[in-house]
Amino acid sequence: MRVLHVEGGRHLYGGAFQVLHLIRGLHARGHENLLACPRDCDLGAAAAPCAEVHGLPMHGDADLLLVPRLRRLIRAGTPDLIHLHSRIGADVMGGIAGRLAGVPVVHTRRVDNPEAAWLVRLKYRLHDRVIAISQEIGRVLTAGGLPADKLRVVRSAVDWQRYARPGDRAAAAQRLGIPADGPWIAVVAQLIERKGHRFLLRALPTLGAAYPNLRVIFFGQGPLAADLAQEAQTLGVAGQVTLAGFRADLEQLLPCVDLLVHPALMEGLGVALLQAASAGVPIVASRAGGIPEAVRDGENGVLVPPGDPAALGAAVAALLANPERRRALGAAGQALMAREFSIDAMVEGNLAVYRELLDESEPRAAGWPWS
């Protein structure tokens, strides 16, 4: 099987990492991968040993010229099907290119925000199958009007064994430039509004009073970095907050963390949750989007109402006070990841969708997508 993957993101964040896992898994099973991605992006470099990488200009949702670029690539590469992995123009422009070329198109949806019914009706006519990475995203899609026979659910995956290693706290403290003592709380997310960093900051004055050597580490980058630093200063907790930026060594840092907090308002599933659970780290997270599929309340973490600093702080305080419960939740999280979120399961799930689509008796005719 020859698959053209289209991914518009430049950095190896959660979604792009899933594409990399899939490409590697397909390659290991003897399938051929082509990858269309932005020029000189991190994913292209990482996928090069397993895919024929084509760096293209990709300028976002309004980049109409992406359609002819992809059509040329489709003609030259002759894929059996096209898998669109992101928005940033890939979902629509890639769908149009595939439709015009008469090649089956699969689109993976990773976010849980609702779309207008008219947009759902138009946009998803471009795709033969839509893969949701969580049951909650699937629910949002069908509620918006996506035909149920187009929808499949294949959860995101994590290389859980990569994170399930003992951590070196002293080495991690040196890398991060923070004291090794005291509890460490991590948030692993882009610094954007919907990830909810502010709610943890607002709970921190009370937590910090109880645990003066508490350290909160924000892993990630984004437009809110300066605002979050200013809010921490205003709240008087700047000395307990570290903005660590994007890190490529999370598999060495996460096992050293006492607790992962994910106070997001919206979330498709949350790759950082899978990584933390794999590292044996207990989790406090919002009951939002697909999060309850990755964080089972009482099994590998605690769920709280989204946007509620008081509830968030109380859940964090309860776990900080109970090391034995933290250990139990962490061990259960590792077991959950090995059982339900393995890379093999994700690759086989996508392959099942590909085979189902290619086995259909009537090939799709090339033509204008809304004819």
Domain match, 107 and 179 both: no
Residue 371 has pLDDT above 60, yes or no: no
- Among 234, 230, 257, residue whose Cα is nearest residue 243: 230
Residue 369 has pLDDT above 80, yes or no: no
Domain match, 253 and 193 both: yes
Domain match, 120 and 58 both: yes
Domain match, 209 and 333 both: yes
- How confident is the model over 184-209, as a mean pLDDT? 97
CATH number at residue 236: 3.40.50.2000
Domain match, 315 and 218 both: yes
Residue 62 has pLDDT above 90, yes or no: no
* pLDDT computed for residue 237 by the predictor: 97
- Residue for token digits 């009007």? 145
Give the DSSP H/E element, type plus range, for residue 314: helix 309-320
- The answer to whether position 114 is within a domain reads yes
Could you tell me the CA-to-CA distances from 208 to 38, 165, 282, 313 in Å, in that order? 43, 29, 19, 10
- How confident is the model over 329-352, as a mean pLDDT? 95
Domain match, 172 and 212 both: yes
pLDDT level of residue 83 (50, 70, 90 thresholds): very high
* pLDDT computed for residue 244 by the predictor: 97
Domain match, 125 and 194 both: no
Tally of domains within the chain: 2
- The answer to whether position 263 is within a domain reads yes
271: domain range?
160-340
Residue 126 has pLDDT above 60, yes or no: yes
- The answer to whether position 363 is within a domain reads no
Domain match, 143 and 171 both: no
- The answer to whether position 368 is within a domain reads no
- Among 45, 46, 22, 17, residue whose Cα is nearest residue 33: 22
pLDDT digits (tens, 9 = 90+) for 279-302: 999 999 999 999 999 999 999 999
Domain match, 181 and 285 both: yes
* pLDDT computed for residue 276 by the predictor: 98
- How confident is the model over 99-119, as a mean pLDDT? 92
Tokens, residue 2? 């020859």
Domain match, 215 and 89 both: no
* pLDDT computed for residue 363 by the predictor: 58
Residue 207 has pLDDT above 50, yes or no: yes
Domain match, 97 and 185 both: no
Distance CA 63, CA 97 (A): 13
**Does the predicted model carry a pTM greater than 0.75?**
yes
The beta strands (E) that lie in the chain are given as 2-6, 32-38, 52-56, 81-84, 105-109, 129-132, 151-153, 184-188, 215-219, 241-245, 259-262, 283-286, 301-304
* pLDDT computed for residue 360 by the predictor: 74
Domain match, 224 and 121 both: no
pLDDT level of residue 14 (50, 70, 90 thresholds): confident
Q: What is the mean pLDDT of the chain?
A: 94
pLDDT digits (tens, 9 = 90+) for 212-230: 999 999 999 999 999 999 9
* pLDDT computed for residue 361 by the predictor: 47
- The answer to whether position 369 is within a domain reads no
pLDDT level of residue 94 (50, 70, 90 thresholds): very high
- The answer to whether position 367 is within a domain reads no
Taking phi first (over 0 means left), then psi (-120 to 50 degrees means alpha), and beta for anything else, what does residue 177 get? left
